[in-house]
Amino acid sequence: MSPELARAESLIRSIPDHPSPGILFRDITPLLADADALQATTEALVTPFAGTFDVVAGVEARGFILAGSAAVVAGTGLVPIRKAGKLPRPAASVDYALEYGTATIEMHDDLPAGTRILLIDDVLATGGTLDAGRQLIERLGYVVAGISVLFEIEGLGGREVVGDVHTVFRSA
């Protein structure tokens, strides 16, 4: 691991019992505030997929931030995947389970059929959010070129749900 990535990883804080008891929340805001750490992690999210995607999709909310940075680094556009009710005209939606409840995400259908999308989110835990994002992209006729996350919490089964996913950092 490069010194820049090691520093970036050291900036991720673990917050116990947030947003509910028993959940260990990974706070990436210190990493986002550090320009070098953000640059290093953004490059690490995108580099394995260079040349294989047309746009980047980010899952609300922290995935937006990372996907926006990734789109700039890759020279592509950004597609937001939003929580239910946030888009003015959602084309499709998918319901999914979280570690602490259920949710729905939605996406527009503004891209040509077959567009290759790199799906990015902040954390892979149980895999529900990323699996829903993948389903949403495919339901709209697009191709998932890859899935990339900043942080994987191993042992929660997310990789078994999502399948092939690139992670920058891992934790037990």
Active site residue 62: yes
Catalytic residue chosen out of the listed positions 26, 62, 116, 134? 62
Active site residue 159: no
Cα gap 45→66, rounded to integer Å: 9
Helices and strands (H, E) in the chain, number of each type: 6, 9
Catalytic residue chosen out of the listed positions 4, 60, 99, 138? 99
Cα gap 127→61, rounded to integer Å: 16
Compute CA distances 162 → 76, 133, 149, 158, whole Å: 24, 10, 11, 6
State phi, psi for 84 to the nearest 5 degrees: -55, 135
Catalytic residues: 62, 99
